[in-house]
A and B are shown apart, each in its own frame.
Chain A
């Protein structure tokens, strides 16, 4: 039973300290509409329009040489992270994407697969990618070092970007909320308005971060081929 500032991020529940809070990861499954009738409902139209927009965007990013059908994994990734981020903003619902365990689980296998596939099957192409177009010949060794390092830290940056954004938002709201009991009525109303504004910002951040994760994964996969 932790009583510190980060208790919001504790996945253990009060039922024998089992980590049942991780079940919030599956909340999106309840919200994604299942196709039953021929005529789509409003939810279906809404959800499908979002998915089609993303699909077209990712298809453009992947370019003509991208394997058709590879947009599906990135669109699914987007929806998983979106639901986790957004539902975590509601009171008492756990934000599973604020944990590196989850974000690294998403980022590391993806990156590793891209790298293994690229280096084994398109070794020459991967080597040429280490030197950007238009680099002066003098700078080429340094560019190779820099590009290698930036490549290696990619799973880390993907994971930490998502986790840190989620943690920062929740932490800020928690910190502001903890000062509440000691303030006068007037100041508390200002605090509440500030917290509501932060909540709106956090919902935008939740959606944007899921989009960023998906887009960057798409770009990393397009570089391999």
Chain B
């Protein structure tokens, strides 16, 4: 499976037009309905190859797009969501450098 290919399980005759937000593999229990004790078994059933992880990120991206960016009357919310996510991300990766800033005598 090369870059940009459809998932192997996608069949246009069965599934219709391709929806990038939809998972086309074998149906499993949704994460919200998995019991706490069964999480280990659930995780072991999932496909954890690099292509599958990339596919998961791609589906999550398209779900966010469909909900916040693609609707006709979208607002400014997606811009601020991306901004706040970026701010938290960069705060997290730079935290070690900033930790002692308040204690410095000379800045």
Contacts and interface: CB of A to CB of B under 8 A. Distances in A.
Interface in B78-102: 78-79, 82-83, 86-87, 90-91, 93-97, 100-101
A94 B98 CA distance: 14
B78 A1 contact: no
Contacts of A30: 82
Interface string A96-132: 0000000000000000000000000000000000000
Contacts, number: 75
Interface residues on B, range: 20 to 34
A86 to B, nearest CB: 10
Interface stretch (B1-9, B27-35, B64-72): B64-72
* Contact residues of B: prevailing secondary structure: helix
B107 interface: yes
In this complex, the interface size class of chain A, counting residues with CB under 8 Å from chain B, is 20 to 34
Contacts of A7: 97
B9 to A, nearest CB: 22
A42 B74 contact: yes
B13 interface: no
B87 A31 contact: no
B97 A13 contact: yes
Interface string A68-100: 000000000000000000010011111000000
A14 B69 contact: no
A216 to B, nearest CB: 28
B104 A14 contact: no
List the 3 shortest-distance A-B pairs measured between CB atoms, nearest first: A14-B96, A13-B93, A92-B91
27 contacts: A1-B97, A5-B107, A13-B94, A14-B93, A21-B90, A21-B94, A31-B78, A31-B79, A33-B69, A36-B66, A37-B70, A39-B72, A41-B69, A41-B72, A43-B69, A87-B83, A87-B86, A90-B86, A90-B87, A91-B87, A91-B91, A92-B87, A92-B90, A92-B91, A92-B94, A93-B87, A93-B90
Interface of B: 65-66, 69-75, 78-79, 82-83, 86-87, 90-91, 93-97, 100-101, 104, 106-107
